[in-house]
Structure 1
Amino acid sequence: MSEDQIKLSGRIVHVFAHRFVVQTPKGMVLADLTPHGADLVKLRIGADVELEGEQKPSELKVTHFACDGAGVTIQHKKKPEHAHHEPVDPAAAIEAARSAGFEPMGTPRRKPKHFEIDGRRNGETYELHVELGGRIRKAKLVGNGHEAA
């Protein structure tokens, strides 16, 4: 079992379609069966269950569900690996910020389809979203959520 894999047991206290909450001796755990997994088992409040799965920040992705002496293995779809992004020069984001009257602050942060960079203009700080081609898509004033052109 990998370090993210855990086993736990407890009682189901809430059911939300293919997700459910299990009360364990250490507290409550949100668990996810996937819609296909929910078709394989009968989730019912008050049932005592044993679970194995991968602990994510928000929930347990259940890979084995056992209740009343019967167990079911559940497959979770793996998210596809993101293709390697073509190299893009972050200097284009810095130049776009300067051309729009912003003083760039820090290093541009690469996202799949844009760069994010902080910039100051007229004494205020903005988070700039700059398309890979160098066009500013969004300028969000930091602190109050307003957007500028």
Structure 2
Amino acid sequence: MPDHQTVTVAGKVTHIFGHRFVVQTDREPVLADITPRGLEQIELHLGDYVELSGEQKPSELKVAIFTRDGRTVTITHKEKHHDHLGNADPKVALNAARAAGFATLGEPRRKPKHFEVLGKRDAAFTELHIELDGHIRKMKPVDRHDPKWMHAIGA
């Protein structure tokens, strides 16, 4: 994940989209996000002159400090929690696939909230999405020549 820099911009509010809005600075328009919770603290108005400071992401400025008419509000953004990434055992997914009657091919592929496992039953290939607790939440047929699974199928 690339590092994003903290920036400060100032300008006039030109568009409002819920908790996101556009500020026209002296250089360019900036899309800003104050979060739904921040919107509860701040009433946005078209034409307001504001100063914003926060983390510049590729698509928007995540506002941490909002200043208007000398009043400053601090806004907190929820941090993404990746706790679930380290606590997953691929054996749980493999055991769930086997318990459902599938022979497993290749290695389970880790996703943020599940594993993808290639299973074979009755000569048919199936992609299984297995949650971290072993619950199979999705099954979809896989063609023998599917590029995603060709290596595991050996086609």
After TM superposition, the structure 1 stretch with the greater mean CA deviation from structure 2, 78-87 or 15-24, is: 78-87
5+ long unaligned stretches in structure 2:
143-155
- Checking the alignment, whether the CA contact within 8 Å between 1:93 and 1:108 is kept in structure 2 is no
Query: Structure 1 residues 91, 83: CA separation in 2 closer, same or farther (over 3 Å shift)?
Result: closer
- Checking the alignment, whether the CA contact within 8 Å between 2:4 and 2:56 is kept in structure 1 is no
Partner of 1:12: 13
What is the CA deviation profile of residues 62-99 of structure 1, one whole-angstrom value per residue up to 9, with x for unaligned ones? 1222345x241323154485657885531232243355
Partner of 1:139: 139
5+ long unaligned stretches in structure 1:
143-149
Q: Which has the higher helix share?
A: 2
Q: CA RMSD in A?
A: 3.8
Q: What displacement does 1:105 show?
A: 3.8
Q: Are 1:52 and 2:53 counterparts?
A: yes
After TM superposition, the structure 1 stretch with the greater mean CA deviation from structure 2, 133-142 or 15-24, is: 133-142
The number of residue pairs the alignment matches comes to: 138
After TM superposition, the structure 1 stretch with the greater mean CA deviation from structure 2, 54-63 or 4-13, is: 54-63
> Scaled by the length of structure 2, what TM-score is found?
0.60
**Secondary structure of residue in 2 paired with 1:63:** strand
Distance in structure 1 (CA, Å) of the matches to 2:96 and 2:43: 56
Distance in structure 1 (CA, Å) of the matches to 2:5 and 2:85: 28
